[in-house]
Amino acid sequence: MALTKAYIAYFIKNVIDGIFNANATFDYAITLAATIVGITILTYPFRYIHYFGLRMVVDKALCDLRRDLYKKFQNLPSSYFSEARQGKLLSIMVDDTKMFAMSFNSAIAIIREPVTALGLLGVMVYHDWKLTAIVFGIIPFFIIVFNVTGKRIKRYVKKSQEDQSVMTHHASEGLSGQKIIKAFGLQKYMIQRFDQAQDQFLANKKVSNSTEEHSHPLIEVLISVAFAIVIIASFMRAKEGELSVGEFFSFVGAFGMFMDPIRRYSKANAKLNQAKASADRIFKIMEVDEEEDPGSIDKFDFSESIEFNNVTFSYGKGDVLKDFNLKINKGEKVALVGLSGSGKSTALSLLLRLYDYGKGQILIDGKELKDYKLQTLRSLFALVSQDVFLFNDTVKENIKAGENFTDEQISTAFEVSYADEFVHGLPEGIETEIGDRGLKLSGGQAQRLTIARAFLRDCPILLFDEATSALDNESERIVQKALEKVAAHKTVLAVAHRLSTIQNYDRIIVMKEGQKVQEGTHDELMSSDGEYKKLYELSQ
Ligand SMILES: Nc1ncnc2c1ncn2[C@@H]1O[C@H](COP(=O)(O)OP(=O)(O)OP(=O)(O)O)[C@@H](O)[C@H]1O
Ligand SMILES: [Mg+2]
């Protein structure tokens, strides 16, 4: 860089001399003008390739990193998401990856600048090794400043990134909870929470910004001290007749150039430490263990039974299932009932191996869940869950969910799930966009779509976790009818809150605090004075 500048200055001087030469012809001016334009055009592709290449390397690295992170998110165990804030994961995915990828140029500078500085030191040694020794003496002070400020920047950038995560979290809660926020008049509260996160972010950012902005002038002070020492030493050496004016200027010239890479290193050092803070956050997630998939069974037809044998499970504190036993034979329709929190949804989650149980066994056709490949295991079940999950996409894409089905299969699914009546009434039929999380549909309509989705997958076992939020009687009746149709010829494990819906099930399991307390058909259970009768009377 410094050498290029010197060369350009030399070139311009020659050109000026040429133009103002009394003998200069018009041809000379034309040739010169054409040369300047020509050279610029010739260098165009090289400049383009250089800068475009650099940018694409950064953008490609950014995309690859985000791809890896997203894949990681998809493969993390469910237990990880119970603890992690969604906002934090989002902010790592968007902000930290960007900060990390953008540090690519700084990483190059961190290697390039010391090499340039060493080269220039060589030039200085060549000119005057004694003066260079003085410059060497000041280098440790630069290293101390780089180290101290770098660490401090990293620490506070990390803190401000954490605050940014909290802010992203509040932002996403504030957007997804809009209806409830408005209904309960929570706007002021939400804004307050968001403001607090912003204040905290700003406080930490202030420290890292201030450290960074102190570090550059501090380097300038060190440079000026070094320069002052060089001048005094030169003066003394000149007095002793050991240094000529020419030698002095050559040395100072080299010294001036030597300071440029140090300034650039200082800037790169600050950026790189910011990137290190982000890298720590990214790689902490990358190191989390993914869902274990030790099983080997990958082709399989469900033919006998599902069995819970003395299963005990805890999410961390206290057992949610205690010595839980249940056997469901192929083709049976079994319902789980019990008070809220008794462990019904948990039992379904264990079956899908969303969590690993501690004690006991869960067997499918006599083999433990872990013996099956995860994908094979999960492909046995169609889940209609308590919380409806729909994408912001069309009705059609929502029920296809990435797989290929013919239009005929899709229209059968709509018929069976009683979704056709409302889907045809939508402005663009099955091509209608349904909004964030299916916001443009009613509760019952959204449920019927998820039932259609489950039907299309045609899995041998249907898991149904009834929503606790009540639908009106008419919607409820339609959802029930849809389920009955979808459940025909399948093995069913259903969690029910409205006990009227399960009276014709083969068996009803009554759960209390993670244990099975009663078992039988509706009529059998109603004839004894147990938990079921109490629940039934409560639900009437
Ligand atoms: N992801 C989780 N992390 C920690 N604890 C959990 C988690 N999910 C559920 N629990 C706890 O486990 C217990 C059982 O929850 P579960 O969802 O199985 O109940 P449920 O019987 O389905 O209740 P409901 O009828 O209200 O749906 C509850 O006390 C709940 O607080
Ligand atoms: Mg539940």
Asked if the structure places residue 195 within a domain, the reply is: yes
Q: Which ligand is the nearest neighbour of the Cα of 515?
A: 1
Q: Look at residue 59 in the predicted model and tell me its pLDDT.
A: 93
* C-beta 82 within 6 A of ligand 1: yes
Q: Look at residue 381 in the predicted model and tell me its pLDDT.
A: 93
For residues 355 and 225, state if they share a domain: no
Instruction: Tell me, in angstroms, the distance from the centre of ligand 2 to residue 436's CA.
Output: 23
Instruction: Tell me, in angstroms, the distance from the centre of ligand 1 to residue 309's CA.
Output: 20
Contacts of 58 (CB under 8 A, 6+ apart): 101, 102, 104, 105
Mutate to test the pocket of ligand 1, among 322, 342, 357, 513 (most ligand atoms within 8 A of CB): 342
Q: Which ligand is the nearest neighbour of the Cα of 313?
A: 1
Asked if the structure places residue 54 within a domain, the reply is: no
Q: Which ligand is the nearest neighbour of the Cα of 320?
A: 1
Contact 454, 492 (CB under 8 A): no
For residues 122 and 185, state if they share a domain: yes
Asked if the structure places residue 24 within a domain, the reply is: no
User: What's 481's domain CATH number?
Assistant: 3.40.50.300
Last residue of a domain, one of 220, 252, 286: 286
Q: Which residues of the chain have pLDDT under 50?
A: none
For residues 509 and 444, state if they share a domain: yes
Q: How far apart are the first and last CA of the chain?
A: 85
Contact 69, 97 (CB under 8 A): yes
| Residue 520 backbone zone (phi > 0: left; psi -120 to 50: alpha; other: beta) | left
In which domain, by residue range, is 532 found? 305-539
User: What's 247's domain CATH number?
Assistant: 1.20.1560.10
Q: Strands across the sheet with 319-329, in order?
A: 319-329, 305-314, 359-364, 367-368
For residues 324 and 249, state if they share a domain: no
One-letter identity of residue 321: L
Instruction: Tell me, in angstroms, the distance from the centre of ligand 2 to residue 386's CA.
Output: 7
For residues 178 and 86, state if they share a domain: yes
Last residue of a domain, one of 234, 254, 286: 286
For residues 310 and 271, state if they share a domain: no
* C-beta 346 within 6 A of ligand 1: yes
Helix (H, G, I), strand (E, B) or coil at 276: helix
Asked if the structure places residue 257 within a domain, the reply is: yes
For residues 330 and 244, state if they share a domain: no
Q: Look at residue 498 in the predicted model and tell me its pLDDT.
A: 81
Asked if the structure places residue 435 within a domain, the reply is: yes
Q: Per residue in 408-425, pLDDT tens?
A: 889 888 888 888 888 888
Asked if the structure places residue 13 within a domain, the reply is: no
Q: Strands across the sheet with 381-384, in order?
A: 381-384, 461-465, 491-495, 333-338, 507-512, 515-520
For residues 227 and 322, state if they share a domain: no
Q: Look at residue 472 in the predicted model and tell me its pLDDT.
A: 67
DSSP structure class, residue 392: S
Q: Which ligand is the nearest neighbour of the Cα of 511?
A: 1
Q: Look at residue 491 in the predicted model and tell me its pLDDT.
A: 93
For residues 281 and 318, state if they share a domain: no
* C-beta 254 within 6 A of ligand 1: no
Asked if the structure places residue 58 within a domain, the reply is: no
For residues 336 and 281, state if they share a domain: no
Q: Which helix (H) or strand (E) holds 195?
A: helix 187-239
Q: Look at residue 386 in the predicted model and tell me its pLDDT.
A: 78
Instruction: Tell me, in angstroms, the distance from the centre of ligand 1 to residue 344's CA.
Output: 8
Domain total in the chain? 2
Closest ligand 1 atom to residue 82 Cα is 1
Last residue of a domain, one of 259, 286, 313: 286
Asked if the structure places residue 32 within a domain, the reply is: no
For residues 334 and 279, state if they share a domain: no
For residues 270 and 240, state if they share a domain: yes
Q: Look at residue 468 in the predicted model and tell me its pLDDT.
A: 60
Q: Look at residue 506 in the predicted model and tell me its pLDDT.
A: 93
Instruction: Tell me, in angstroms, the distance from the centre of ligand 1 to residue 345's CA.
Output: 7
Instruction: Tell me, in angstroms, the distance from the centre of ligand 1 to residue 72's CA.
Output: 25
